[in-house]
Every structure is written in structure tokens, then in C-alpha cells.
């Protein structure tokens, strides 16, 4: 017997040489929750995560950046009284997100600040788009009307200084409309990271608890994708690329590694994957029960997402994973 694959595993040094995939803090995007209150708050539905007040947000973002994480993405908890059927707060230039973007860019000009473009935090109905109610109580999430409003929201974020706007709404045609709006207003340099293949997933539950943004009626299956489909993901990514997306995303990540791998083959754009709240919490819960080694499982999950083909990973572990990578000596 002379073919012995174990030779390539015989020592840490050889394993480092043979490693095909490596995690790096520069791969991560840190999601950060922000609210208008004065105190940072622990998030009950998302243990280990914080709803930051503006000061805390700026401090946390600076620490995350210092660990080598290049970008943060903001999610606002909007006060219930500001949520309206028309979601007008979504493009208020003095709203929470524009204030947060300005504070972050002033304190950390080199940090990449990404904003989420969708109506669910602002919409009294909790849907990502505008909702039309029929007399029989059934609802429709309007596409073209929503796209107009999303363009205003994206422009408002760009005016505040966002580096990247990230439509997570899954309306048809929104990337082209947002690109047009940004270019018309001289924001050619603001990038679009599109949630191109976003599935109607039960793994988003804890996130919706964090923002109080669960849909009041119905579900999101008329706009988010059917978890059964992968060819459709390739179609969605192709459309967003043609419409001018600079980067595309698959979401969730862990249960959709095949989608990440297939999409990787079909686009030359940077590909992001979002390890969502439910994925994070399943690891945290198992670790808290002593059933798994949380750090090892978290890092293996992130490595799996990267090995499947993701270049970038949005993850609630971004800060901790960057710290762990630092401890391991890179």
C-alpha cells in the first residue's frame, strides 16, 4: 500500500498546507441591531445579540472593525408608533437608519456600512412590501408600488452615506429600479448587494422577534422563494446580475449549501450567504445545553458555508469568529 491520504493529515503544519478552504475575518459581515432608545438592550429572542443605542452601535462597530471584519449591516427596531401602512418612516432622512449611518461613517470612515432595504421594520403589517387588503380580508403584497418606495428608501440611505444598500424584499425588478434611482441622483458609487435567492424560511423567526417585525397576516411565500427550488435561485441571481447587482446573496446559508454551490457556478459576482438567526440559535442552544462544543460547531458551520462557495458570510458570529481566528494565530 503506497497511496496513503493520511500523510497529508499527519501534523498541524502539513494540514495547514493541505487546507483547501480558510476562514478569514475579512470574509465576515456583522449584522447589528439598532434602536432609538438610550440604553443598549439584550434581545430576548436572540440571546447573545444586542439592540444597540447609537453610542453603543458606534463603539461595537469600531471594535468589530478592529478585529478585521470589514463591514456591518444595520437592522433597525422601529418604534411601534412609527409603523404605518405606507411605511413612510423608511425614507425619513432623520430616521434611525440614516442617523446610525451618519454616526458610523463619521466615527469609522473606513468601515463598510451596509443598509437593509425592505419595508418590514416600518410596515404596520410586517411585510417587506406594501400591503393591499381586499374586502374579504385577504391581502396582496404589491410589487411595482413597493419597488418605487424601495428606491426612495435606498436613496435615503445613500444620502446618509451608506456604502452598500442591500434589498432583502424579493420584489421583482427592484435592483434595476434602485440602480436607476442611485445613478440619477449621482450615487453611482453606492453598491447593491442583492438578496437574490432568499427563501421563505422558518429560520428567520428569532430575527423577527428582535425587530417586532413578524407579518401580521399570512406569510411571505408570494415573494420569498420556495425552499424546494434551486433552478429558480439561478434564475433570480441571473436577473439581479442583469439588473445591476454588484454582489448577490443566498439566504439562509447552512440548509442551502447546494444552492450556494450551484449559484457559485453561474455568476462571477462576489457571492454572499447569510447564516440567519435560527441557524445561529440552534448552535447557541445546543452549546448552552452542553450538547455540542459551540465554538467548534460554529466555526465548522462557517467553514462549510465558505467551502460551498460563499465569498462573504453574514453571521451573528462575525465578532466572535474573528476573535477565535485571532486566538488560533490566524
Tell me the closest approach of the beta carbon of residue 208 to ligand PBG, in angstroms.
6
Which of 15-23, 203-211, 236-244, 284-292 is the region at the interface with ligand PBG (rule: CB under 6 A)? 203-211
30 part of the interface to ligand PBG, by CB under 6 A: no
Length of the chain: 330
Cis, bond preceding 21 (omega within 30 deg of 0): no
The CA dihedral of 276, 43, 113, 159, to the nearest 10 degrees, is 120
* Residues in CB range of 34: below 8 A, 6 or more apart: 51, 52, 53, 54, 57, 74, 75, 76, 77, 96, 97, 100
Please say which residue, 98 or 206, places its beta carbon nearer to ligand PBG.
206
Q: Is 220 annotated in the active site? A: no
Active site residue 251: yes
Binding-site size for ligand PBG (CB under 6 A) equals 11
Alpha helices in 189-255 (DSSP H): 205-211, 231-243
H/E element, 253: none
Residue 276 binds ligand PBG (CB under 6 A): yes
- Binding segment for ligand PBG (CB under 6 A), chosen from 9-17, 130-138, 200-208, 300-308, is 200-208
Find the shortest distance in angstroms from Cβ 184 to ligand PBG: 25
**Binding status of residue 153 toward ligand PBG by CB under 6 A:** no
Integer Cα distance of 252 and 199 in angstroms: 7
Counting contacts by CB under 6 A, is residue 199 touching ligand PBG? no
> Exactly one of 118, 147, 178, 299 binds ligand PBG (CB under 6 A); which one?
118
CA distance readout (Å), 204 to 210, 219, 282: 10, 12, 12
Query: Strand (E) positions, 211-275?
Result: 247-251, 271-275
Does position 250 interact with ligand PBG (CB under 6 A)? The reply is no
Q: Smallest distance, Å, CB 236 to ligand PBG?
A: 15
Catalytic residue among 83, 220, 251, 306: 251
- 223 contact partners, CB below 8 Å, separation of at least 6: 128, 129, 141, 143, 169, 170, 171
Q: Is 33 helix (H, G, I), strand (E, B) or coil?
A: strand
If binding is defined by CB under 6 A, does position 168 make contact with ligand PBG? yes
**CB 14, min distance to ligand PBG, A:** 38
Binding to ligand PBG by residue 128, rule CB under 6 A?
A: yes
State how far Cα 318 lies from the chain centre. 12
Give the nearest distance from C-beta 277 to ligand PBG in angstroms. 3
Instruction: Select the residue interacting with ligand PBG from 152, 208, 264, 320 (CB under 6 A).
Output: 208
Residues 6+ apart with CB under 8 A from 47: 281, 284, 288
Residue 204 found at the interface with ligand PBG (CB under 6 A): yes
> According to CB under 6 A, which one of 28, 122, 187, 207 is a site residue for ligand PBG?
207
Judged by CB under 6 A, which stretch of 47-55, 100-108, 202-210, 287-295 contacts ligand PBG?
202-210
**CB-CB contact of 158 with 165 (8 Å):** yes
- Residues noted as catalytic: 198, 251
Name the site residues for ligand PBG (rule: CB under 6 A). Answer: 116, 118, 120, 128, 168, 204, 207-208, 220, 276-277
Amino acid at each position: 500500500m503506497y497511496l496513503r491520504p493520511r500523510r497529508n493529515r499527519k501534523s498541524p503544519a502539513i494540514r495547514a498546507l493541505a487546507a483547501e478552504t480558510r476562514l478569514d475575518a475579512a470574509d465576515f459581515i456583522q449584522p447589528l441591531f439598532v434602536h432609538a432608545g438610550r440604553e443598549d438592550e439584550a434581545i430576548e429572542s436572540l440571546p447573545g445579540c444586542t439592540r444597540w443605542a447609537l453610542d453603543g452601535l458606534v463603539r461595537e462597530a469600531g471594535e468589530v472593525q478592529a478585529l478585521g471584519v470589514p463591514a456591518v449591516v444595520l437592522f433597525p427596531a422601529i418604534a411601534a408608533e412609527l409603523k404605518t401602512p405606507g411605511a413612510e418612516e423608511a425614507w425619513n432622512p432623520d430616521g434611525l437608519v440614516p442617523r446610525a449611518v451618519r454616526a458610523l461613517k463619521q466615527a469609522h470612515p473606513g468601515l463598510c456600512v451596509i443598509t437593509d432595504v425592505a419595508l418590514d421594520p416600518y410596515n404596520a403589517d410586517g411585510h417587506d412590501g406594501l400591503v393591499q387588503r381586499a374586502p374579504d380580508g385577504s391581502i396582496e403584497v404589491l410589487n411595482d408600488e413597493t419597488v418605487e418606495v424601495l428606491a426612495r428608501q435606498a436613496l435615503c440611505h445613500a444620502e446618509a452615506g451608506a456604502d452598500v444598500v442591500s434589498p432583502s424584499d424579493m420584489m421583482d425588478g427592484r435592483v434595476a429600479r434602485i440602480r436607476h434611482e442611485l445613478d440619477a441622483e449621482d450615487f453611482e458609487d453606492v453598491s447593491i448587494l442583492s438578496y437574490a435567492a432568499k427563501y421563505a424560511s422558518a429560520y428567520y423567526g428569532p430575527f423577527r422577534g428582535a425587530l417586532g417585525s413578524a407579518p401580521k397576516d399570512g406569510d411571505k411565500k408570494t415573494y420569498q422563494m420556495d425552499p424546494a427550488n434551486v433552478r429558480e435561485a439561478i434564475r433570480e441571481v441571473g436577473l439581479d446580475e442583469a439588473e445591476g447587482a454588484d454582489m448577490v446573496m443566498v439566504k439562509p446559508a447552512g440548509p442551502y449549501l447546494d444552492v450556494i454551490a450551484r449559484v457559485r457556478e453561474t455568476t462571477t459576482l462576489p457571492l454572499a450567504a447569510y447564516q440567519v438567526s435560527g441557524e445561529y440559535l440552534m448552535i447557541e442552544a445546543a452549546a448552552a445545553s452542553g450538547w455540542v462544543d459551540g465554538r467548534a460547531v460554529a466555526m465548522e458551520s462557517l467553514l462549510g458555508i465558505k467551502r460551498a462557495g460563499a465569498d462573504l458570510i453574514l453571521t451573528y458570529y462575525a465578532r466572535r469568529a474573528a476573535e477565535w481566528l485571532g486566538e488560533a494565530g490566524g
